Amino acid sequence: MLEQQLVDLGLTQGEARVFLSLLKLGPSKVGAVVKDSKVSYSKVYDVLERLASKGLVSHATIGNIKHFNAVEPYRLHDYLQKKEDALKAQKATAEGLVSELAKVANRNRAAKGAEIFAGDRGLRTAYEILLKDASKNDVLRYFYPFDDYHPIATPFYSRLHLFQKEKEITQRGIGTVAFSRSAHYREIAGMVDMRFVPFPLPGTMDVFQDKLLMVSWESEIGILVTSKDIADHFARYFDSVWQVATISSGTRRRSRQ
């Protein structure tokens, strides 16, 4: 029990065993530590050195022989404080690093032109990339056909809604008339700004700034295209369809759920 708790605090299994042995034995020669901890001679010196570097073991030379001793248990607080300080430093470094890495990723992404994302997590990432540069009142346009995969897509967009809401963007959706008659739409009719058409839609598509995201819920794959020309083309197509689509009833809190 104690050994596992020490491991949970960040010690290796060997370090935990040696530390507990020294607490029990008191100042001891290496042979006694090996015998009690079951850590081999070939490894015990390395383990003791690591524990010393963590401030958990000290040593003294008695009769030309090194004797090792565990520090008082309360010194574990010092060890954990050092870990916490190191973690804070790593976080500070990571913040700057993430910013620089994002610049590199953005350059590469623009060069690639198109990326493929798979699965629930992959699609979530695709939407985060799509909206990462969003500003308040930017317009997200999306086509949402009502098909056999609606039960899979709906829970996903319900979770995504919170992320989109934080961005405070304007959302406009176009769906099929079949969707307007669905039980799900009746539940959210007062919360979405949607219009409907009596003809098939090109698929699930989101158009935002210079990006177009196309999603196939049959295979749970998304293709994210970064191209201002393509995004502008689909935005104009969306706006044309929007003008002739049937206006939904209810209040218009612009969000997709």
The pLDDT > 90 percentage for the chain reads: 17
pLDDT at position 130 over 70: yes
Per residue in 99-108, pLDDT (tens digit) is 677 666 666 5
Neighbours of 216 (CB within 10 A): 12
CA pair distance 17, 139, nearest whole angstrom: 60
Output the CA–CA distances (angstroms, integers) from residue 225 to 68, 124, 161, 237, in the order listed: 63, 15, 22, 16
pLDDT at position 109 over 60: no
pLDDT at position 232 over 90: yes
Mean pLDDT of all residues in 152-177: 76
φ/ψ of residue 74, rounded to 5? -65, -20
Q: Which of 111, 112, 109, 145 is nearest to 128 (CA)?
A: 109
CB 228 within 8 A of CB 210: yes
pLDDT at position 253 over 50: no
Instruction: Provide Rg for the chain, Cα atoms.
Output: 30
Per residue in 45-83, pLDDT (tens digit) is 899 998 888 888 888 888 888 888 888 887 788 878 887
Where is average pLDDT lowest: 86-90, 179-183, 213-217? 179-183
pLDDT for 182 equals 73
More confident residue, 255 or 35: 35
What is the model's pTM? 0.55
pLDDT for 255 equals 41
Tokens of 199: 């003809």
Amino acid code (one letter) for 142: Y
pLDDT at position 21 over 60: yes
CA pair distance 132, 126, nearest whole angstrom: 10
Mean pLDDT of all residues in 5-18: 88
H/E/C letters for each residue in the chain?
A: CHHHHHHHCCCCHHHHHHHHHHHHHCCECHHHHHHHHCCCHHHHHHHHHHHHHCCCEEEEEECCEEEEEECCHHHHHHHHHHHHHHHHHHHHHHHHHHHHHHHHHHHHHHHHCEEEEEHHHHHHHHHHHHHCCCCCCCEEEEEECCCCCHHHHHHHHHHHHHHHHHHCCEEEEEEEHHHHCCHHHHHHCCCCCEEEECCCCCCEEEEECCEEEEEECCCCEEEEEECHHHHHHHHHHHHHHHHHCEECCCCCCCCCC
More confident residue, 184 or 136: 136
pLDDT for 132 equals 86
Cα 141 from chain centre: 25
Tokens of 35: 């015998």
Burial of 15 (0-12, 13-18, 19+ CB in 10 A): buried
